[in-house]
């Protein structure tokens, strides 16, 4: 066996990104995905004449994807077309008011002025504050393997560590947003960004206010043809670079001798490898794929999973021009919604409703007289006692009633339907308790508690994906693949020198 071999577990974005980089670095890479298609939580479904992205719908930080293509030696624009979204989202507030949020500062300030003239200046100050958090944290918390002591202590990171108090870690997102804005609707709008990495705005540290800067400062994008085009493009690049991709190939075990990994077991057969890059949820991998190490398992299982979700894919035989590509219909009591989700682990009585309609940008995704609605509700992660079948029926009714109240009486317009619950997310993607963003950031120390990209238990074992550093969401999981591949390559070079 040549000594530059890597077995990659899973075909999600983190794993794919790592596999591409490793192949480019001269490693022989085999990737094993349990499902028939790649992409994990970035997936697509066609129901009759309607085509849907079933997971991610908004792309941020596209430079991370450009960087991956450049590294691999390909031109991103040959594969993918990124389309800026404007408005980024249309917000429907409980009092009946509507606001279009935009990355265009003039438009955004005008929209805020319509809602609450006194808060225009507050928005300018908030964006500057969020940008400062971004500038202080991006390098260290997104691009650096913070669990590697040597790298963390590099001069420029070391300086940042001394300025951590400036990134607002001691207040919650809600406390901090409330200090800037006076209008409760704007507070709700800026609070909701905590959910973008699966967290609770009433618990998560205000450092997460970096997220609105990423959206309004750097922009929100759509991938022409659907977000799933990203997976097709990365698959093509991986194949060009010689990555051997095996689908419908579940890894049953990560093989090791107690000290070092030696490959993976798939369909009862051992595939030898010097390195294993695990892109499956790291908590689940420790529970199910790695024998021994029960203490570590217990510790990992104490990490709080992120939000889960309930998704309704609805092919609607009607046009709704009052809706934009992305829409959020807020609940009337945000704090109660999150208390039910995170404290009581219950399905909320009144959910916030997010609707993405890609046929607004890609007419071919629905019939000429129709639209493809992807409807997402925040849900608790799985705990015993929840009854998802019953809750799905209840939520469907609650959502349709609320939509009718806002002016969208669609019950009789639904032509095709598919529903996903947290149980489906757990089963389909082997995510920890159905979480969709890995570990929640509800705790101040989460950035450091989140699993590292290099195993401390087994030499040669590395991790990528939303459950490990730097966290969930498309750009971050792609960065996790970059960090893991770099660590593997550096480790390999060091072991050759020794």
Ligand X SMILES: Cc1cc2nc3c(=O)[nH]c(=O)nc-3n(C[C@H](O)[C@H](O)[C@H](O)COP(=O)(O)OP(=O)(O)OC[C@H]3O[C@@H](n4cnc5c(N)ncnc54)[C@H](O)[C@@H]3O)c2cc1C
Copy the structure tokens of residue 313. Answer: 């894919």
Summarize as ranges the residues that interact with ligand X (CB under 6 A): 9-15, 32-35, 40-42, 55-58, 250-251, 279-280, 289, 309, 311, 376, 429-431, 436-437, 465-466, 472-474, 477
Q: How far apart are CA 157 and CA 367, in angstroms?
A: 52
Residue with tokens 């995704």: 365
Q: How far apart are CA 208 and CA 130, in angstroms?
A: 9
Q: How far apart are CA 352 and CA 472, in angstroms?
A: 21
**3-class secondary structure, 427:** helix
**3-class secondary structure, 491:** helix
Give the DSSP per-residue string, 431-449: -GGG-SSSB---STTHHHH
Q: Smallest distance from the beta carbon of 338 to ligand X, in angstroms?
A: 18
Q: Which is nearer to ligand X, 122 or 263 (CB)?
A: 263
Q: Smallest distance from the beta carbon of 341 to ligand X, in angstroms?
A: 15
Residue with tokens 């908590």: 283
Q: Which is nearer to ligand X, 315 or 422 (CB)?
A: 422
Q: Which is nearer to ligand X, 250 or 459 (CB)?
A: 250
Q: Smallest distance from the beta carbon of 381 to ligand X, in angstroms?
A: 12
Q: Which is nearer to ligand X, 116 or 396 (CB)?
A: 396
Q: Which is nearer to ligand X, 23 or 122 (CB)?
A: 23
CA dihedral sign, ordered 26, 245, 458, 13: positive
Q: How far apart are CA 375 and CA 387, in angstroms?
A: 20
Q: Smallest distance from the beta carbon of 343 to ligand X, in angstroms?
A: 22
Q: How many CA atoms lie within 13 A of 181 on its CB side?
A: 25
Q: Which is nearer to ligand X, 288 or 346 (CB)?
A: 288
Q: Which is nearer to ligand X, 380 or 466 (CB)?
A: 466
Q: How far apart are CA 314 and CA 304, in angstroms?
A: 31
Q: Smallest distance from the beta carbon of 476 to ligand X, in angstroms?
A: 7
Q: Which is nearer to ligand X, 79 or 179 (CB)?
A: 79
Residues in the chain: 498
Give the DSSP per-residue string, 356-406: EEGGGT-GGGS-TT-EEEEEEEEEPPP-TT--HHHHHHHHHHHHHHHHHHH
Copy the structure tokens of residue 50. Answer: 């309607």
Q: Smallest distance from the beta carbon of 55 to ligand X, in angstroms?
A: 4
The answer for residues whose C-beta is within 8 angstroms of residue 58's C-beta and 6 or more apart is 85, 88, 220, 221, 222, 326, 356
Q: Which is nearer to ligand X, 55 or 212 (CB)?
A: 55
Q: How far apart are CA 287 and CA 9, in angstroms?
A: 15
The answer to whether 470 and 476 are in contact (CB under 8 A) is: yes
Q: Which is nearer to ligand X, 340 or 378 (CB)?
A: 378
Q: Which is nearer to ligand X, 204 or 436 (CB)?
A: 436
Q: Smallest distance from the beta carbon of 227 to ligand X, in angstroms?
A: 8
Copy the structure tokens of residue 260. Answer: 């070092």
Q: Smallest distance from the beta carbon of 367 to ligand X, in angstroms?
A: 24
Give the DSSP per-residue string, 221-270: EEETT-TTHHHHHHHHHHHHTTPEEESS--EEEEEE-SSBEEEEEETTEE
Q: Are strands 251-256 and 50-53 parallel, antiparallel or unpaired?
A: unpaired
Q: Smallest distance from the beta carbon of 392 to ligand X, in angstroms?
A: 15
Q: Smallest distance from the beta carbon of 107 to ligand X, in angstroms?
A: 21
Q: Which residues of 266-282 are buried (b: 16+ CB within 10 A; e: fewer)?
A: beeeebebbbbbbbbbb
Q: Smallest distance from the beta carbon of 340 to ligand X, in angstroms?
A: 19
Q: Smallest distance from the beta carbon of 237 to ligand X, in angstroms?
A: 16
Copy the structure tokens of residue 78. Answer: 């040959």
Q: Which is nearer to ligand X, 56 or 323 (CB)?
A: 56
């Amino acid at each position: 066996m040549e000594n530059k071999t890597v077995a990659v577990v899973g075909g999600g974005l983190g794993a794919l990104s790592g596999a591409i980089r490793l192949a480019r670095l001269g490693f022989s890479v085999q990737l094993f995905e349990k499902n028939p298609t790649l992409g994990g939580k970035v997936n697509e479904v066609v129901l009759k004449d309607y085509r849907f992205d079933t997971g991610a719908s908004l792309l941020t930080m596209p430079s991370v994807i450009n960087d991956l293509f450049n590294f691999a030696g390909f031109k991103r624009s040959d594969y993918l077309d990124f389309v800026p979204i404007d408005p980024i989202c249309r917000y429907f507030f409980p009092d009946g008011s509507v606001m279009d949020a935009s990355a265009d500062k003039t438009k955004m300030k005008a929209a805020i002025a319509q809602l609450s003239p006194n808060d225009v200046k507050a928005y300018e100050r908030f964006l500057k504050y969020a940008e400062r958090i971004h500038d202080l944290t991006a390098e260290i918390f997104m691009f650096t393997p913070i669990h590697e002591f040597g790298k963390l202590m590099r001069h420029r990171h070391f300086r940042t560590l001394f300025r951590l108090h400036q990134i607002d870690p001691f207040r919650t997102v809600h406390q901090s947003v409330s200090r800037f804005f006076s209008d409760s609707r704007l507070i709700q709008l800026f609070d909701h960004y905590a959910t973008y990495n699966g967290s609770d705005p009433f618990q998560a540290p205000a450092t997460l206010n970096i997220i609105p800067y990423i959206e309004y400062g750097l922009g929100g994008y759509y991938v022409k043809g659907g977000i799933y085009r990203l997976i097709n493009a990365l698959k093509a690049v991986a194949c060009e670079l010689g990555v051997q991709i095996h689908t419908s190939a579940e890894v049953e075990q990560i093989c090791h001798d107690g000290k070092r990994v030696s490959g993976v077991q798939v369909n009862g057969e051992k595939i030898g490898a010097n390195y294993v890059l695990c892109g499956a949820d790291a908590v689940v991998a420790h529970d199910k794929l790695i024998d021994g190490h029960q203490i570590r398992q217990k510790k990992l299982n104490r990490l709080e999973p992120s939000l889960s979700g309930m998704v309704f894919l609805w092919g609607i035989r009607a046009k709704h021009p009052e809706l934009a590509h992305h829409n959020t219909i807020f609940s009337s009591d945000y704090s109660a919604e999150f208390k039910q989700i995170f404290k009581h682990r219950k399905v909320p009585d009144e959910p916030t409703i997010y609707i993405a309609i890609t046929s607004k940008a890609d007419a071919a995704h629905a019939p000429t007289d129709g639209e493809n609605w992807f409807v997402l509700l925040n849900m608790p992660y799985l705990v015993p006692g929840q009854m998802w079948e019953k809750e799905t029926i209840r939520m469907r009714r609650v959502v349709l009633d609320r939509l009718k109240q806002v002016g969208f009486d669609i019950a009789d317009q639904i032509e095709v339907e598919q529903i996903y619950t947290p149980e489906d997310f757990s089963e389909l993607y082997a995510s920890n308790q159905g979480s969709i963003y890995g570990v929640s950031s509800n705790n101040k120390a989460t950035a450091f508690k989140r699993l590292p990209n290099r195993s401390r238990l087994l030499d040669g074992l590395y991790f990528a994906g939303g459950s490990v550093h730097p966290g969930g969401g498309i750009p971050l999981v792609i960065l996790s693949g970059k960090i893991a591949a770099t660590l593997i390559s550096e480790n390999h070079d060091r072991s050759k020198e020794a």
